[in-house]
């Protein structure tokens, strides 16, 4: 008797802003288009319906795929707790950003984070290009400083992962510099990062929100970008096709049982 095919349970944070749920729905449609025949369901942690208990308990062989960029509180605690409360012992895939592999050697645990997925960096490039920046030009990139504007977290590991994305993006794309700024945590803020890039000699400064859907924090970043008089403001990552492909990559690499942990991917 064959085991049931694995189902894809996308778990998003949720928001009172209707643009959030619309973005999640658009991503789900992209996942379905990329993988015809895959059963895809959506659940939310907060604000939106359906919630995790309404969905997880009816899925027989699902993988929970977090629509999250960093392994912070929501990934480490909220999602596992919600699944346990629903009585659903589902494997959970890795988040979309860089994740430190599970290691037993303390010396290796202090090693640098692995590089970001090329798909994630390509999605950031896509949004800057859509905002009018000539991303394909090496000369333009060499004169442009970029602010990677993230939500921010009280979890140092999550902020370290964001900084790893910034470092990898600069190294692989040849930007003049990439500075990290935060919308909700202790600084630096977007105006601080813009000023630092201008002081360092960047001819142009672009702000790239490191966020998945529209809402309060992206709006805050947009206001700060206008205040700082940056030259370019990209859109949120949203339903970029690279994000849909990265979600499927995480799904495919997820463990087959909850006792196992999905390996961290860098491609």
Output the tens digit of pLDDT for each of the chain's 267 residues.
Answer: 456 689 999 999 999 999 999 999 999 999 999 999 999 999 999 999 999 999 998 888 999 999 999 988 888 889 999 999 888 889 999 999 997 554 444 444 445 555 679 999 999 999 999 999 999 999 999 999 999 999 998 888 899 999 999 999 999 999 999 999 999 867 899 999 999 999 999 999 999 999 999 999 999 999 999 999 999 999 999 999 999 999 999 999 998 764 333 333 222
- HSE-up (13 A, CA, CB side) for residue 48: 20
Can 7-101+241-253 and 118-233 be said to share one CATH topology? yes
* pTM for the predicted model, two decimal places: 0.89
Domain 7-101+241-253: CATH architecture, name and number where available: 3-Layer(aba) Sandwich (3.40)
DSSP per-residue codes, 187-199? S--HHHHHHHHHH
Domain coordinates in residue numbering, the chain: 7-101+241-253, 118-233
Closest by CA to 9, choosing from 74, 70, 53, is 53
Residue 120's φ and ψ, nearest 5 degrees, are -65, -45
* CATH architecture type of domain 118-233: 3-Layer(aba) Sandwich (3.40)
């Amino acid at each position: 008797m064959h085991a049931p095919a694995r189902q894809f349970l996308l778990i998003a944070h949720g928001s009172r802003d209707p643009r959030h749920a619309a973005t999640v729905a658009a991503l789900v449609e992209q996942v379905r288009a990329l993988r015809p025949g895959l059963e895809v369901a959506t659940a939310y942690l907060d604000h939106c319906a359906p919630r995790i208990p309404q969905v997880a308990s009816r899925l027989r062989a699902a993988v929970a795929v977090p629509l999250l960029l960093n392994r912070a509180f929501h990934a480490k605690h909220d999602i596992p707790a919600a699944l346990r409360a629903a009585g659903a012992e589902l494997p959970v895939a890795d988040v979309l950003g860089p994740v430190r592999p599970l290691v037993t050697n303390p010396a290796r645990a202090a090693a640098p984070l692995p590089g970001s997925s090329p798909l994630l960096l390509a999605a950031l490039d896509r949004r800057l290009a859509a905002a009018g920046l000539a991303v394909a030009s090496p000369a333009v990139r060499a004169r442009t400083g970029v602010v990677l504007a993230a939500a921010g977290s009280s979890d140092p590991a999550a902020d370290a992962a964001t900084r790893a994305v910034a470092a990898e993006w600069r190294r692989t794309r040849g930007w003049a510099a990439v500075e990290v700024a935060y919308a909700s945590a202790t600084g630096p803020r977007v105006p601080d990062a813009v000023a630092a890039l201008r002081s360092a000699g960047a001819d142009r400064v672009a702000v790239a929100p490191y966020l998945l859907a529209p809402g309060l924090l992206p709006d805050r970043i947009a206001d700060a970008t206008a205040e700082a008089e940056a030259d370019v403001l990209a859109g949120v990552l949203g339903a970029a096709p690279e994000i849909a492909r990265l979600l499927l990559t995480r799904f495919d690499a997820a463990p087959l049982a909850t006792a196992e942990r999905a390996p961290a991917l860098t491609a």
